[in-house]
């Protein structure tokens, strides 16, 4: 036996739980994509795929679950967590639900990438696939209906309207960016999905320094290929979204994003997801504007996930011989 | 005629119509007919002459990209769908 020689078996009391791996992600700089910028204009991105569930959504999911536990709304072994998701929040619920003893039931549009559906099934999640023509909003409407019908049976986490979503970023992401830039950050950009990242990080950064510019990123059209981003004007608007927080909004085109995803992979070795590439399109636009005006800047954005869940997309090799 | 289902975000360009009767023997011809009926759709579906790379046209349960792309045959009574990508969360 392995432990025969030990007087007492090891307790491993200091071993970490998976929750301890969430947050404190690295801040990445760039070598080639930003090489045309003057040294006074810096661009950096938080590597959110370093979270154990593979995306930034681990932060919000953990905080929403901890808040519900703190208020006695959920109990391990008894509660089923319920929500709609395009994938990443669902994966975070699935991971944390398994780790903390909750069943998880998710409404997901049927056209979610096959990789995401496979990950969710691997965690043992109960999936309800909704009409792909209705997109994320169809999943939201369907889950609301079930939550209203059976409120005793489920805890509807409701990521789009749950303040604990944006508060996760207020408590963690905003603080990390301030510390990792030694308080030099001048611009923060994030894509809008639930809007939790922008709301929480933006509020925290503006508390540190009200001059910090907070910039939201949205698709340029309601019909787009920017999986993970919301076109707020035409979608069900999240209750946690306050459009007044952002100093500016940038509209991002799908084709520019796909080209940037290829550049990040091939010029920086960063194989990132679609919303990360959209964030880089926006960050580079701001950086180039500052450079043209002769202004300095420390521009920080966030790369929500890696490319691992988008590898079945066509655009990675478009234009290759 | 074949029918094509329009996803929610594109219905702003089809006068709110969710199902449109289209003629044509291939995916290319059907989309030409669709955008001739509703010209405002065209810039959302095409980039120049090319179908935008995120636009997926399904014939029944089959993605045209996995068949013969724009040359994929469309039967007289086919049910087509344009499937959008998924927004955040």
pLDDT digits (tens, 9 = 90+) for A32-73: 999 999 999 999 999 999 999 999 999 999 999 999 999 999
pLDDT at residue A119 in the model:
96
B71 located within any domain: yes
Tell me if chain A has a CB within 8 Å of the CB of B50. no
State which H helix or E strand residue A251 sits in: strand A248-252
Q: Search chain A and give the residue with CA nearest B65.
A: A314
**Residue corresponding to tokens 């100093």:** A247
Among A137-151, A173-187, B44-58, the range scoring the smallest mean pLDDT is B44-58
B88 located within any domain: no
Confidence label for A169 from pLDDT (cuts 50, 70 and 90): very high
Calculate what percentage of chain A has a pLDDT beyond 70: 96
Report A:156-175 residues touching B (Cβ under 8 A).
Answer: 159-160
Chain A residues whose beta carbon lies within 8 Å of the beta carbon of residue B47: 255
Which residue among A159, A229, A255 places its CB closest to the CB of B87?
Answer: A229
- Cβ within 8 Å, pair B53-A193: no
pLDDT digits (tens, 9 = 90+) for B2-45: 999 999 889 999 999 999 999 999 999 999 999 999 999 999 99
B42 located within any domain: yes
How far apart (Å, rounded) are the C-alpha atoms in residues A258 and B51? 15
- Cβ within 8 Å, pair A254-B54: yes
How far apart (Å, rounded) are the C-alpha atoms in residues A219 and A227? 10
ipTM given for this complex: 0.86
Confidence label for B89 from pLDDT (cuts 50, 70 and 90): low
Number of domains composing chain B: 1
pLDDT at residue A4 in the model:
56
Domain ranges of chain A: 22-51+173-317, 57-156
Cα Rg of chain B, angstroms? 12
Token pair listed for A40: 């006074």
Chain B residues whose beta carbon lies within 8 Å of the beta carbon of residue A137: 8, 87
Q: Three-class SS string for A29-44?
A: CCCCCCCCCCCCEEEE
- Cβ within 8 Å, pair B84-A226: no
How far apart (Å, rounded) are the C-alpha atoms in residues A272 and A310? 9
How far apart (Å, rounded) are the C-alpha atoms in residues B82 and A132? 9
In CATH terms, is domain A22-51+173-317 a member of 3.40.50.1100? Answer: yes
Known catalytic membership, residue A57:
yes
Chain A residues whose beta carbon lies within 8 Å of the beta carbon of residue B83: 111, 132-133
Tell me if chain A has a CB within 8 Å of the CB of B85. yes
Chain B residues whose beta carbon lies within 8 Å of the beta carbon of residue A231: 9, 87
pLDDT at residue A94 in the model:
98
Distances (CA, A) of A126 to A61, A121, A140: 17, 7, 16
Q: What global pTM score does this model have?
A: 0.92
* DSSP conformation class of B2: E
How far apart (Å, rounded) are the C-alpha atoms in residues A216 and A293? 21
pLDDT at residue A313 in the model:
85
pLDDT of A128 higher than 60: yes
Mean pLDDT of chain B: 92
Tell me if chain A has a CB within 8 Å of the CB of B83. yes
How far apart (Å, rounded) are the C-alpha atoms in residues A193 and A230? 5
Q: Considering Cα of A99, then A310, then A254, then A39, what sign does the dihedral take?
A: positive
Owning domain of residue B16: 2-83
Please state the rounded mean pLDDT for residues B71-87: 90
Confidence label for A3 from pLDDT (cuts 50, 70 and 90): low
Chain A residues whose beta carbon lies within 8 Å of the beta carbon of residue B18: 133
Tell me if chain B has a CB within 8 Å of the CB of A114. no
Please state the rounded mean pLDDT for residues A249-270: 97
The CATH number that domain A57-156 falls under is: 3.40.50.1100
pLDDT digits (tens, 9 = 90+) for A272-300: 999 999 999 999 999 999 999 999 999 99
Strand partners, A106: A83, A127
pLDDT digits (tens, 9 = 90+) for A67-126: 999 999 999 999 999 999 988 999 999 999 999 999 999 999 998 888 899 999 999 999
pLDDT of A11 higher than 90: no
B63 located within any domain: yes
Are A162 and A89 in contact by the 8 Å Cβ rule? The answer is no
B89 located within any domain: no
Tell me if chain A has a CB within 8 Å of the CB of B88. yes
Assign residue B36 the CATH number of its domain. 3.10.20.30
Nearest Cα neighbor of A213 from A295, A276, A300 is A300
Please state the rounded mean pLDDT for residues A127-140: 93
């Amino acid at each position: 036996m392995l432990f025969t020689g030990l007087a007492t078996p090891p307790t491993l009391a200091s071993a970490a739980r998976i929750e301890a791996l969430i947050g404190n992600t690295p801040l990445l700089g760039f070598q080639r994509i930003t090489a045309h910028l003057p040294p006074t204009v810096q661009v950096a991105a938080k590597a959110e795929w370093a979270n154990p569930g593979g995306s930034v959504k681990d932060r919000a999911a953990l905080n929403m679950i901890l808040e519900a536990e703190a208020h006695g709304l959920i109990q391990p072994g008894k509660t089923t967590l319920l929500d709609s998701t395009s994938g990443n929040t669902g994966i975070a619920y699935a991971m944390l639900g398994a780790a903390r003893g909750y069943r998880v039931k998710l409404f997901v549009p049927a056209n979610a990438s096959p990789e995401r559906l496979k990950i969710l099934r691997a965690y043992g999640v109960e999936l309800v696939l909704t009409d792909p023509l209705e997109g994320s909003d169809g999943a939201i409407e369907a889950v609301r209906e079930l939550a209203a019908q059976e409120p005793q049976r489920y805890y509807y986490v409701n990521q789009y309207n749950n303040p604990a979503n944006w508060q996760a970023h207020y408590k963690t992401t905003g603080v990390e960016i301030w510390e990792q830039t030694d308080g030099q950050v001048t611009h923060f950009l994030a894509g809008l999905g639930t809007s939790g990242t922008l709301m929480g990080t933006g509020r925290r950064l503006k508390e540190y320094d009200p001059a910090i510019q907070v910039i939201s990123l949205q698709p340029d059209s309601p019909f787009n290929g920017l999986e993970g981003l919301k076109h707020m004007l035409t979608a069900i608007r999240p209750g946690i979204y306050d459009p007044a927080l952002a100093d500016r909004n940038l509209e991002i085109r799908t084709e520019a994003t796909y080209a940037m995803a290829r550049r990040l992979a091939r010029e920086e070795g960063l194989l990132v997801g679609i919303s990360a590439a959209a964030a880089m399109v926006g960050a580079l636009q701001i950086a180039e504007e500052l450079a043209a005006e002769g202004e300095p800047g420390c521009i920080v954005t966030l790369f929500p996930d890696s490319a691992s869940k988008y590898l079945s997309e066509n655009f990675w090799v478009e234009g290759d011989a | 005629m074949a029918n094509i289902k329009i996803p929610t975000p594109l219905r702003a360009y089809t006068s709110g119509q969710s199902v449109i009767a289209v003629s044509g023997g291939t995916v290319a011809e059907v989309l030409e007919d669709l955008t001739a009926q509703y010209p405002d759709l065209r810039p959302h579906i095409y980039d120049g002459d090319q179908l935008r790379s995120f636009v997926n046209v399904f014939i029944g349960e089959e993605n045209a990209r996995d068949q013969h792309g724009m040359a994929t045959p469309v039967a007289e009574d086919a049910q087509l769908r344009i499937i959008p990508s998924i927004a955040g969360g």
